[in-house]
Amino acid sequence: GLIRSFSFLGNEELAVQAVTGGIAEALIATACGLGIAIFALIPFNFFTSRVSNLEFELQTAATNLEVMLQAQTAERHVAIESRTPSSATRSSI
């Protein structure tokens, strides 16, 4: 579009229609490109939002699992410590 229009500018017999035709062609190509980009942005934003929500849910589930496992580990340590005699009673035996 524009490259062809500018090639006519070097010609002494400048044809206005040739220059404006190339500019019109470039504007149409630009409008089509913008339309495609805007149309592509809709699913991109949808899927980006969906991935962010899934990432948040996964992070929340992982945090809940970590807290649950830490609580179970703490309960086991308390149960083991309550069943074993202390070192002071062992040395006195």
pTM of the predicted protein model: 0.53
The DSSP line for the chain is -HHHHHHHHTSSS--HHHHHHHHHHHHHHHHHHHHHHHHHHHHHHHHHHHHHHHHHHHHHHHHHHHHHHHHHHHHHHHHHHHHSPPHHHHHH-
**Number of other CB atoms surrounding residue 25 within 10 Å:** 14
- Rounded Cα–Cα distance for residues 33 and 18 (Å): 23
The radius of gyration of the chain from alpha carbons, rounded to an integer in Å, stands at: 36
DSSP at 73: H
pLDDT tens digits, 26-72: 889 999 999 999 999 999 999 999 999 999 999 999 999 999 999 99
pLDDT above 60 for 92 = no
